[in-house]
């Protein structure tokens, strides 16, 4: 009964896999475009210079596209090897997600402190010529989120070795406003603002995470059900 129900639902899931493959292609294209046209926008972290927005989009797009390709082609061609590969890839992704999630919650305080320190170390590279991407990233987030530094605007004093801040820290922005100590700067750190945003949107993020988990589990169930169906009967499955 369970296998019959899954097979009945499989055409719908096959369409979902096909759409995920197309989305993966789209993400990969967007990531490549960002990397080529917006190469100056990089990462906040000096320890992980390759962890930029463009590279993350490319990586996610490639994983989604390859996974969708295996599932879609394996179902259409009824190829047991591709279906098994699809199952294994989804299992590896699911285990990696669970391990990362567990490690994050177990070592959340340590991760937070290390992240803050790494971001503070990156502030010292703000005015260097070969780190324009980091400078652009900080300018954008400080302007959009109305924050300054990692934990506060004094982080810039320590990083730049003088009592100045980037112009985007000024509540009234103008050229060289960050060098005027009488100006009003954003007092809240950007790390705190990000934590606040995550806390405000935890229900939405949790819902998205659960939807992803359900899709992964359904994919594994469908692939194994179809795999055993083909193995037992040797007949073509008409999707």
Three-class SS of residue 170? strand
- Evaluate whether residue 115 is within a structural domain: yes
Q: Does 65 share its domain with 48?
A: yes
| Digit-coded pLDDT (tens) for 14-25 | 555 555 555 656
Looking at residues 184-190, what average pLDDT do you find?
Answer: 90
Q: Over the chain, what is the mean pLDDT?
A: 76
Dist CA 224 CA 86 (whole Å): 9
Determine the structural domain holding residue 162 and report its residue range.
111-193
Q: Does 229 share its domain with 183?
A: no
Residue 182, burial from CB neighbour count under 10 angstroms (0-12, 13-18, 19+): exposed
- Evaluate whether residue 202 is within a structural domain: no
Q: What percent of the chain has pLDDT over 70?
A: 71
* pLDDT bracket for residue 172 (50, 70, 90): confident
Q: Does 122 share its domain with 220?
A: no
Q: Does 54 share its domain with 145?
A: no
Q: Does 148 share its domain with 227?
A: no
| Digit-coded pLDDT (tens) for 196-210 | 988 898 888 888 888
* pLDDT bracket for residue 180 (50, 70, 90): confident
- Taking a C-beta distance cutoff of 8 angstroms, is the pair 54, 35 a contact? yes
pLDDT for res 36: 59
Cα distances from 47 to residues 43, 143, 153, 155, 164, in angstroms, run 10, 24, 22, 18, 24
Residue 78 zone, left/alpha/beta (φ > 0; ψ -120 to 50; rest): left
Q: Does 68 share its domain with 98?
A: yes
Q: Does 91 share its domain with 168?
A: no
Q: Over 60: is that where the pLDDT of 116 sits?
A: yes
Q: Does 15 share its domain with 99?
A: yes
- Evaluate whether residue 133 is within a structural domain: yes
- Evaluate whether residue 14 is within a structural domain: yes
Q: Over 60: is that where the pLDDT of 1 sits?
A: no
167/183: higher pLDDT? 167
How many domains would you assign to the chain?
2
- Evaluate whether residue 97 is within a structural domain: yes
* pLDDT bracket for residue 4 (50, 70, 90): very low
| Digit-coded pLDDT (tens) for 33-78 | 555 555 444 555 665 656 666 667 667 767 777 777 777 777 777 7
Q: Does 76 share its domain with 33?
A: yes
Q: Does 61 share its domain with 146?
A: no
Q: Does 69 share its domain with 132?
A: no
Give the CATH number of the domain where residue 136 resides: 1.10.1450.10
Q: Does 148 share its domain with 125?
A: yes
| Digit-coded pLDDT (tens) for 71-107 | 777 777 777 888 788 888 888 888 988 898 898 888 8
pTM of the full predicted structure? 0.70
């Amino acid at each position: 009964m369970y296998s019959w129900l899954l097979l009945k639902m499989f055409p719908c899931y096959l369409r979902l896999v096909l759409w995920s493959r197309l989305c993966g292609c789209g993400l990969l294209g967007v990531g490549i475009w960002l990397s080529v046209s917006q190469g100056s926008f990089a990462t906040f972290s000096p320890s992980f210079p390759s962890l930029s927005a463009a590279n993350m989009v490319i990586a996610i797009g490639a994983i989604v596209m390859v996974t969708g390709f295996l599932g879609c082609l394996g179902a259409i061609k009824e190829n047991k090897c591709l279906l098994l590969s699809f199952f294994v890839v989804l299992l590896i992704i699911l285990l990696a997600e669970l391990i990362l999630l567990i490690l994050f919650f177990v070592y959340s305080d340590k991760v937070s402190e290390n992240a803050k320190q790494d971001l503070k170390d990156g502030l010292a590279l703000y005015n260097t010529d070969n780190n324009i991407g980091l400078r652009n990233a900080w300018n954008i987030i400080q302007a959009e989120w109305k924050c300054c530094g990692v934990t506060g605007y004094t982080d810039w004093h320590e990083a730049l070795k003088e009592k100045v801040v980037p112009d985007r820290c000024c509540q009234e922005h103008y050229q060289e406003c960050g060098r005027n100590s009488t100006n009003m700067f954003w007092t809240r750190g950007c790390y705190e603002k990000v934590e606040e945003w995550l806390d405000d949107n935890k229900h939405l993020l949790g819902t998205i995470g659960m939807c992803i988990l359900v899709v992964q589990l359904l994919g594994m169930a469908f692939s194994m059900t179809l795999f055993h169906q083909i193995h037992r009967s040797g007949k073509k499955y008409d999707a």
